[in-house]
Amino acid sequence: MNPNILLFLFLGRSVNVNVGIDLLWLKVGKIGGGESYIRNLLDGFYKYATKGEYKFFLFLAKDNHHTFDKYFDKENFIKIIMPIQSKNVAIRIIKENLLLDKYAKDNNIDLMFVPVYSKPLFKNKKIPYIITIHDLQALHYPEYFSKIKNLWLKYAWKRCAITADRIIAISNFVKKDIEDKLEIATNKIEVIYNPITNLENFEDFDKIKSKYNIKENNYYYTISALWPHKNLKTLILVMKKLKEENNEFDKKLVITGVDGKSKTEINQLIHDLNLNKEVVFTGFISNEERNSLYKNAKIFLFPSVFEGFGMPPIESMMLGTPVITTKEASLYEVTQGKAYYVNEPFDVDEWVNLIEAVENNYTRKKYYFEEYSLEEVTKKYLDIFHKMKFLRD
């Protein structure tokens, strides 16, 4: 038997695992769901990983390290600031490839965890890498990027997948996509759903009402970056139709999220349809404000046609607000058939009819998803970290 396996069986959880976490890529307030995912997961490591079993070395950029300070009051969290700026993407990638392995070796790292597909492109035989793949968006929507960037992404993503020792997919949809489009063996990929947390605290809704000029239980809410596949254009057309059908219509659509390729088109559509008073953009907001907007909305609308996971509809359901979404990509899988669904994501009439039906016949119900709990998800990651140290070839 492999002596490492014997050591693992004999020592159990008594040996410390030095886990490096690459956070050099994180541009604060610009990543959307990816940032929420890793901050939630770090909260899980902070809460559930004991000092004697794991040490976490956070590899941080000069322009994002201050946003992680809350973790370093624990002895098993170590800050490593590298001479890198997250906002300078091209230079960051070059330096990451040149320096990350060296910094990991200098700090006696047992394994590197990269929570996106941004690992160094060449395989390090001494330090195993675990990466998380959230989706393969660019392979589905190449029109979002230039020809040169598409070529780079296709090359880099496949190299990262090939050279990683383990890949975590955030849904079965993503796992199947990795197998098909990157031609990666299924036994190299493990599905771990995203952790859902930070739903306990709320901003005072009286402050929010005046801030956005909305009323409790009298607005629709969505969280979305402004990209074409998020399908926000359909929601704008839905608002127009609802307004036309009811002279006394006074609801608003509140949109939280970061900018994207559709920003100009969506703003122009809102202007052309005279919906400036009915559509409200919040920009990037705190978890507390987001939670209050979830909780007090009439319905949460999520029209996206492509998601690797899709945290917002689950968060809304956990806070008791009904959700209408699509069955596209991962969405039916992760909402487990418990939301309301349109069959045709771009059909304005279907959206309007379902919204009206839900408004007239629903009661608020809070859902609980154990597989998305912070404790459950964290334990799965910690198990992988521990096994990778002792059970790798």
Going by pLDDT thresholds of 50, 70 and 90, the confidence category of residue 391 is low
CB distance 278 to 239 below 8 Å? yes
**Residue 32 confidence (pLDDT) above 80:** no
CB distance 322 to 367 below 8 Å? no
- The mean per-residue pLDDT over the stretch 44-60 comes to 92
Question: Is beta strand 323-326 parallel, antiparallel or unpaired with respect to 299-302?
Answer: parallel
**Residue 8 confidence (pLDDT) above 50:** no
- The mean per-residue pLDDT over the stretch 49-72 comes to 94
Q: How far is CA 97 from CA 18, 84, 100, 134, 136, in A?
A: 20, 12, 6, 21, 21
- The mean per-residue pLDDT over the stretch 180-206 comes to 95
CB distance 348 to 243 below 8 Å? no
- The mean per-residue pLDDT over the stretch 89-93 comes to 92
Residue boundaries of the structural domains of the chain:
3-196+373-391, 205-369
Q: What is the per-residue burial (b if ≥16 Cβ within 10 Å, else e) of 269-307? A: bbeebebeebbbbbeebebebbbbbbbbbbbbbbbbbbb
Phi, psi dihedral angles at 49 (to 5 degrees) = -90, 120
Q: What is the largest CA-CA distance in the chain?
A: 76
Residue 177 per-residue DSSP state: H
Contacts of 73 (CB under 8 A, 6+ apart): none
Going by pLDDT thresholds of 50, 70 and 90, the confidence category of residue 1 is very low
> Which residue carries 């907001």 as its tokens?
285
* DSSP character string of 192-232: -PPP----S----HHHHHHHHT--TT-EEEEE--S-GGG-H
Identify the bridge partners of residue 191 per DSSP, sorted by sequence position: 169
What crossing angle do the helices spanning 232-245 and 263-272 adopt, rounded to 10°?
A: 10
Classify 329 in phi/psi space as left (phi over 0), alpha (psi -120 to 50) or beta. Answer: left
**Residue 393 confidence (pLDDT) above 50:** no
**Is 212 in a helix, a strand, or coil?**
helix
Q: How far is CA 329 from CA 103, 112, 172, in A?
A: 38, 29, 10
205-369 CATH fold: Rossmann fold (3.40.50)
Contacts of 224 (CB under 8 A, 6+ apart): 230, 232, 255, 256, 257, 302, 304, 312
Structure tokens at 136: 């393969």
Task: Please give the sequence-ordered ranges of beta strands (E in DSSP) within the chain, or none if there are none.
Answer: 17-22, 54-60, 77-81, 111-114, 129-133, 166-169, 189-191, 219-223, 252-256, 279-283, 299-302, 323-326, 340-342
Query: Which amino acid type is present at position 243?
Result: K
What is 3-196+373-391's CATH number, 3.80.10.10, 3.30.70.3340, 3.40.50.2000, 1.20.1250.20?
Answer: 3.40.50.2000
**Residue 122 confidence (pLDDT) above 90:** no
**Residue 372 confidence (pLDDT) above 50:** yes
Structure tokens at 3: 């002596």
Q: Is residue 388 within a helix (H) or strand (E), and if so which, with residue range? A: helix 374-391
Query: Which amino acid type is present at position 262?
Result: S
Q: How far apart are CA 168 and CA 171, in angstroms?
A: 9
Going by pLDDT thresholds of 50, 70 and 90, the confidence category of residue 19 is very high
Half-sphere exposure of 1 (CA within 13 A, CB side): 10
CB distance 263 to 256 below 8 Å? no
Query: Which amino acid type is present at position 20?
Result: G
Rounded percentage of the chain residues whose pLDDT exceeds 90: 82
> Is the fold of 3-196+373-391 the same as that of 205-369?
yes
Q: How far apart are CA 270 and CA 258, in angstroms?
A: 17
Going by pLDDT thresholds of 50, 70 and 90, the confidence category of residue 362 is confident
Residue 72: count of CB within 10 angstroms of its CB: 13
